[in-house]
Chains A and B, each alone.
Chain A
Amino acid sequence: MTAELIRGQNHPLPETRLEIRVSAGQPIVAGATLNDEQGHMRSAEWIAHPASPQLPGLEVSRQAAANHRLAVDLDAMPEAVHRVNVLLALPTGAGGPSGFGSVAAPFVAVTGLDGTEVVSYTITDLDTESAVVALELYRRQGAWKVRAVGQGYAGGLAAMLSDQGLPQAGQLAATINEAVAAGMARAVAPAPVTPEGERARAAAGEAAPARPGPATSVTGSAVPGQSGGRINYQHPRRPGPGASAMPAGGATPPPAPSAPPPPGAEGSAPPPPGEAGSGRPVAGDATGWTMEERLYNQVWGMFEDLARTTAAYRSAVDFADSRQERELDRVLSDPQTRIGPAADAARAEARQKHAALVEQARAAFDRDVAQLSAESEVVEPALPWAFARWDNPVWQAYRAPDEVPMAVRLGDLGLPEHTSLRIPMLVRMPLQRGLWIDYGRGSVDSAVADPDELRRLAGETATAIAARLLAAHPVDEFNVSIIDPAGAAAPSLAPLLESGVLSEPPAAGSGGVSTLLARLTQRVDLVQMAVRSGAADALPPGLDTSDQLLIVHDFPHGFDDRSVTQLRYLADEGPSVGVVLMMVADREDARAFGPVLDPLWRSLLRLTPVPSDHLADPWVGHAWTYEPPLPPRGSGVIGQVLHQVAAARRAAGR
């Protein structure tokens, strides 16, 4: 629960990795200085500011902006650092306000990585001060605490820095102001001040965490016919066309702020907003400690935005339909007016009202979709291979990774209103549930009527996903086992077999099935026991503890009751100890088992070899059309990637 601090109040910090959010009514500079035990800055290097935004465990924005998010990792601070001051300053020389007294009170909040607010503080009672120490994070008996400071300096940054014992304060302050002025010149359009509304809490589990404030400001491209800002085409929590809503004759339009580049620990920061193409969406424009995490969050943000804007559109159209129906009914139910010119007029009016509302809704929706499409166009090419489509050139440079990526793309998701816009379906690693590639003729309504063709596509989908999972794991940490009792899936398994990534051939016949299942069951059982008793070193030597993917083709061919029971055990208990099941099956084939298998099917994530709308988003619950991650026809990319995996394994001596 948030503690609202008042000046001078302090509060313990529960974690050391934090985010500090700043919002103000207009662009301001945010920075941080480090102090030793005596409260002195030891050198001019002990400051993060727009010209030099990075320190170990700390990064600030390169620009002045109305909203800032500073990422802080207190564990990464040098030993000598006993205090981190978060400072805010008004940009100088831009004709803006000269003191904090003439602008809205800045608001700062310290949040955890999941967006939960720890403390917040509104800095009031400032007057002519143009720089202020907002918060200090300080060590007290080995733990970090935060204090609301609110100490302003009428002499600006120079006065503040010399107060912290820095001799070259004036020079440094000048450097900072210069950098800020340069940054403001690059930006072209004012970014709207973002409401606190974006303090969206992350939806449970894998949903994307809150996204950053108004990022890249946008050129006035488009937004035609916008009057009075009634419809804002800007996406709620993302940059977009329609900086809008700034009163044309307004008092003090903020001078061209632009967004802070998202804080991050790794290099490859996105290009500073405002540069080339100013205002286009930027890949990696989300919170996160690494580019990968930022892109992951961005994709989830796009997913949520598309779900919500579609919900708004559908609900408006439904309403228009039902209102029209009501109005037409009313005309009909009155015998006096049922026929005649009055009735015609009433009908025409009802239709016109309907058309007008739908048109309005469509306009808002189209604008949002156009923006998301533009974002998708920059995000897709920037994705790392684990998130990318097979046709992305990034796969050509694939090498076996040193660690598992945070997520893997299992396909695409889309909605019927705009089939061209597809959202990557990113699933967190390690997989929490098994997969089921369903080629049931009854359950997939598609143009592919031929059951054999469906089956073949299902096999290819399974192989494509298995290849992605293999590619995502470092050598030695992942194994794929296959059950193919009658050898029927051999053609689609070819890439896996030929590349030599399998440590043993697919299990065939009922003997092969029961041996393999018995081995995996034993492995799950032993690892579970070891984990429960905390005795990981007591596992028998020779037990393969790497993660496992078990692909089951042709179920339930070759399965007896005992193997089915083992399979259910694996589906239930496997994921928690790294054994994941992938069933390539038609539920109908197993109907002889009756309802006992229902829990098994339900526990698996159902995917289809052809597009099918059966997946729901976590926010609104639309039915999304899933498309399997199949490579372009004739592409050998899966084979290439698997050869890389196999080569890496051989090199590692397996």
Chain B
Amino acid sequence: MSKGQAISLQKSDGGTLTAVRMGLGWQAAARRGLFGSRTREIDLDASAVLFADKQAVDVVFFQHLVSNDGSVRHTGDNLVGGVGQGGDDEAILVDLQRVPVHVDQILFTVNSFTGQTFAEVQNAFCRLVDETNGQELARYTLTGGGPYTAQIMAKVHRQGNGWQMTALGAPANGRTFQDLLPALVPHL
């Protein structure tokens, strides 16, 4: 999907999505030079920030793996990427039906904790998966990214009785989600 595109998280058969997974996968870009095959480790981190009426109320990231209410869960920090060679290296699971009633938006972000810019990251992607059947709803490629260290990937927000996802893909800079909070505001 492309920037700014919104998709409704309705199943094709009319049912509502109940659980989604935001997956993040990457490999470090190969370095040119004498030791051409050597790669430098890159630590990307996926985070999810829960908003209620434009106020951040909870966050799920590598130091707080489960939102207090238990509806959003991070599968754990991956420091080097590339393990799955195409699979998700980090994932955040959202049980949409258990998200507290006042939370109306969840923003997903990716930060480069080690400071490399996305220009140095290879085969990076972020995808949204219907957790109930493994179907991929949306995929985003980060490869060939620019000289920035973070990206605001997407948001899931309440729409009527269900949820909708909007792809954001906005570049930003920061080491962890805290640095991104001001940059998130325009997207709420």
CB distance from A235 to the nearest CB of B (A): 8
Contact with A along B123-164 (1 / 0, CB 8 A): 000000001111100000000000000000000000001100
Q: What are the residues of chain B within 8 A of A234 when measuring CB–CB? A: 97
A201 touches B76 (CB 8 A): yes
B101 touches A231 (CB 8 A): yes
Q: What are the residues of chain B within 8 A of A569 when measuring CB–CB? A: none
A360 touches B14 (CB 8 A): no
Assess whether A196 is interfacial by the CB under 8 Å rule.
yes
Assess whether A246 is interfacial by the CB under 8 Å rule.
yes
Contact partner, B102, options A4, A228, A319, Cβ 8 Å: A319
**What CA separation (Å) do A439 and B32 show in the bound complex?**
70
A197 touches B13 (CB 8 A): no
Contact with A along B58-76 (1 / 0, CB 8 A): 1000000110111101011
A315 touches B57 (CB 8 A): yes
A361 touches B73 (CB 8 A): no
**What CA separation (Å) do A250 and B101 show in the bound complex?**
26
CB distance from B162 to the nearest CB of A (A): 7
B70 touches A236 (CB 8 A): yes
Assess whether A312 is interfacial by the CB under 8 Å rule.
yes
Q: What are the residues of chain B within 8 A of A192 when measuring CB–CB? A: 18
CB distance from B22 to the nearest CB of A (A): 12
A25 touches B133 (CB 8 A): yes
Say which size band chain B's interface belongs to.
Answer: 35 or more
Assess whether B52 is interfacial by the CB under 8 Å rule.
yes
Q: What are the residues of chain A within 8 A of B65 when measuring CB–CB? A: 201
State the majority secondary structure of interface residues on B: loop
A196 touches B21 (CB 8 A): yes
Assess whether B8 is interfacial by the CB under 8 Å rule.
no
State the majority secondary structure of interface residues on A: loop
Assess whether A195 is interfacial by the CB under 8 Å rule.
yes
Assess whether B100 is interfacial by the CB under 8 Å rule.
yes
**What CA separation (Å) do A311 and B135 show in the bound complex?**
31
CB distance from B73 to the nearest CB of A (A): 6
**What CA separation (Å) do A320 and B103 show in the bound complex?**
11
**What CA separation (Å) do A323 and B71 show in the bound complex?**
23
Question: For chain B residues 24-81, which have a beta carbon within 8 Å of chain A?
Answer: 52-53, 55, 57-58, 65-66, 68-71, 73, 75-76, 78
24 A-B residue contacts at CB 8 Å? A1-B78, A2-B84, A195-B21, A195-B132, A201-B76, A227-B161, A228-B16, A229-B15, A231-B101, A232-B97, A245-B16, A245-B18, A305-B70, A308-B68, A309-B70, A312-B100, A315-B57, A315-B68, A316-B52, A316-B100, A316-B101, A364-B100, A364-B101, A619-B70
By Cβ-Cβ distance, the 6 closest A-B pairs, closest first, are A232-B97, A247-B15, A312-B69, A308-B70, A195-B19, A195-B131
By a beta-carbon cutoff of 8 Å, the part of chain A in contact with chain B is 1-4, 25, 104-105, 107, 122, 192-193, 195-197, 199-201, 227-232, 234, 236, 244-247, 249-251, 304-305, 308-309, 311-313, 315-316, 319-320, 323, 357, 360-361, 364, 619-620
